Amino acid sequence: MRFSTSVSALAFAAVALAQDVTIHVGSVNGTSALAFSPSSVNATKGSVITFVFDGMPGNHTVAQSAFGKPCEPLEGGFDSGFIFVPQGASAPFPTWNLTITDDSKPIWFYCAQTAGPKGAHCLNGMVGAINAPTVNNTFEAFQAAAKTQTGVVAPSPALSGVNALASAAPGPLTGSFSGAAVPTGTVVTNGTSSNSTGTGTSTSTATGKTNGAGAIQISGLTAFVAAAFGIVFA
């Protein structure tokens, strides 16, 4: 019996439990801020990071970048597109779910908004990290680097990322919420395809867990609209 108990304990330890996490976009403790909160989290493979766009008023993005270039899109990285939340809006706020596909490497992200009274959000330190190292390339070092950048580059909206993947566009984008350009494309989920489209209103119907090998198609026009939207709304 002692043997079997030990085996069970080992098996339990070897299975990394999912650690679903919520990150607020543009708010800290319910107050509007140029920040993600919490800004640095840990999450195992298969965990879902739920970004809640509840900063009011706000027009933010969740865009993947690299440690060395905090405010520029990572090639092949995810991007939520700009999600506009007006002052006085009420829940449920738009959310965006990212599933972690590889927890062995850090995932860095930033807000690509360049307009607003305080200037570009990334340069104000609106960056975040998932599974950041605790030494050397830490979240604190990443954020400090962001504040020294001279510009912010807006990415093309994309569901797929590096080490993380979304299966649907942010939503709901109805009522007072809007997104001029949100990720569209086809993500392969459990062997079947689901279409995710939406400009202004999310009509995504993707369900199920993604397999990490999604095929994404993004039009150049969508990217252009995203950049324009980011400039129009602060």
Provide the binding-site residues for Cu ion, judged by CB under 5 A: 60, 111, 113, 121, 126
Residue with Cβ nearer Cu ion (58 or 161): 58
Indicate the residue whose CB is closest to Cu ion: 111
Q: Do the strands 21-28 and 48-52 form a parallel or antiparallel pair, or are they unpaired?
A: parallel
CB of 194 to Cu ion, least distance (A): 28
In the complex, least distance from residue 25 CB atom to Cu ion, rounded to whole angstroms? 7
Half-sphere exposure of residue 52, counting CA atoms within 13 Å on the CB side? 16
Looking at beta carbons only, is 149 or 203 nearer to Cu ion? 149
Comparison of 113 and 204: residue with beta carbon closer to Cu ion: 113
Task: Work out how close the CB of 186 gets to Cu ion at its nearest, in angstroms, rounded to a whole number.
Answer: 28
Report, in Å, the least distance between residue 128 CB and Cu ion: 11
Q: How far is the CB of 116 from Cu ion (least distance, A)?
A: 8
Q: How far is CA 219 from CA 55, 89, 157, 184, 226, in A?
A: 28, 30, 9, 9, 11
Nearer to Cu ion, 111 or 166 (CB): 111
Residue number with CB closer to Cu ion (213 or 231): 231
Hunting for tokens 């369900």 — which residue is that?
A: 207
Cβ-proximal residues to 212 (8 Å cutoff; 6+ apart), any chain? 101, 102, 165
Distance CA 178, CA 82 (A): 8
| 3 state DSSP class of 164 | strand
Tell me how far, at minimum, the Cβ of 21 lies from Cu ion, in Å.
19
Q: How far apart are alpha carbons 118 and 140 in whole angstroms?
A: 21
In the complex with Cu ion, the residue whose CB is nearer, 24 or 121, is 121
φ/ψ (deg, to 5) at 158:
-150, 140
d(CA 51, CA 62): 8
Please state, in angstroms and rounded to a whole number, the distance separating the CA atoms of residues 201 and 133.
37
Identity of the amino acid at 85: V
